[in-house]
């Protein structure tokens, strides 16, 4: 059975990590617009150059850019059995665009999940986040200490360029102004919105998400 989910929530709430758990659980890809943009920046493509300044400032990149990326990903063979959308949609026009895209393909969403955590915790999680440029592992200074090597592949862990303190505050403000209105948008939609507590250990949040979907008769 194909499953089509959106995982929403503020920066640092754990969308990427939990989105990956969900994707594995259902055997579908996690489609992260943030990851797609970072890949384009790293590869130095024309699209990457077009969005670099927005990304570095913690601003949203133009709607048509992410809508194009998502349409391509949804039409890819990997996503034919479903997907977990992570970090998209982030604006009302993006949500409208997604709705049109799905309708045109005769498919719908099974659930829209909203992960929640207090702002102090988000700032702590983001400012301590470290990523491996080689294997993509995401961890936290609490787990590995400062200036550590990646525990998976021993390459050097780095801080995402948009995880610096000055950018983090802007990303949270952008979330509040542009993305938070989508919670009401989906709450009013046919699919509805399911809020899930994002505090606690990775495993606790994962189990809460699985349980929520099981209750909704999706996780079997
Ligand atoms: P993320 O990894 O999801 O936190 O995204 C990191 C950055 O990529 C954001 O701060 C934006 O600059 C850009 N980005 C990711 N997804 C979107 C989106 N759906 N709409 C606009 N910008 C996005």
State the pLDDT at residue 215: 86
* One pLDDT digit (tens) per residue for the chain, 220 residues: 579 999 999 999 999 999 999 999 999 999 999 999 999 999 999 999 999 999 999 999 999 999 999 999 999 999 999 999 999 999 999 999 999 999 999 999 999 999 999 998 999 999 999 999 899 899 999 999 887 899 999 899 999 999 998 899 899 999 999 999 999 999 999 999 999 999 999 999 999 999 999 987 664 4
CA 90–ligand 1 middle distance (angstroms): 8
CA 217–ligand 1 middle distance (angstroms): 31
Q: Please count the CA atoms within 13 angstroms of the CA of 34 that sit on its side-chain side.
A: 22
State the pLDDT at residue 220: 47
Q: Whose CA is nearest to atom 23 of ligand 1?
A: 60
Q: Which of 60, 69, 85 to mutate to test the pocket of ligand 1 (most atoms within 8 A of CB)?
A: 60
Contact 12 CB / ligand 1 (< 6 Å): no
Which residues are marked as active site?
15, 90, 129, 160, 171
State the pLDDT at residue 159: 93
Contact 162 CB / ligand 1 (< 6 Å): yes
State the pLDDT at residue 216: 78
CA 19–ligand 1 middle distance (angstroms): 15
State the pLDDT at residue 147: 76
């Amino acid at each position: 059975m194909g499953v089509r989910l959106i995982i929403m929530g503020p920066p640092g709430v754990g969308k990427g990590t939990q989105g990956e758990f969900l994707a594995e659980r259902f055997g579908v890809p996690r489609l992260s617009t943030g990851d797609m943009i970072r890949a384009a920046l790293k590869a130095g493509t024309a699209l990457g150059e077009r969005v670099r300044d927005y990304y570095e400032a913690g601003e949203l990149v133009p709607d048509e850019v992410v809508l194009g990326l998502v349409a391509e990903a949804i039409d890819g063979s990997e996503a034919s059995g479903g997907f977990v959308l992570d970090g998209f949609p982030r604006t009302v026009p993006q949500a409208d665009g997604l709705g049109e895209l799905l309708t045109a393909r005769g498919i719908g969403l099974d659930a829209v999940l909203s992960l929640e955590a207090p702002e102090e915790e988000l700032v702590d999680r983001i400012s301590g986040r470290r990523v491996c440029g080689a294997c993509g592992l995401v961890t936290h200074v609490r787990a590995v200490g400062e200036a550590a090597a990646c525990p998976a592949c021993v390459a050097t862990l780095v801080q995402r360029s948009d995880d610096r303190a000055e950018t983090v505050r802007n990303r949270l403000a952008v979330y509040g102004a542009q993305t938070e209105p989508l919670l009401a948008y989906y709450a009013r939609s046919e699919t509805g919105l399911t809020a899930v507590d994002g505090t606690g250990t990775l495993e606790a949040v994962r189990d809460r998400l699985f349980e929520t979907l099981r209750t909704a008769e999706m996780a079997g």
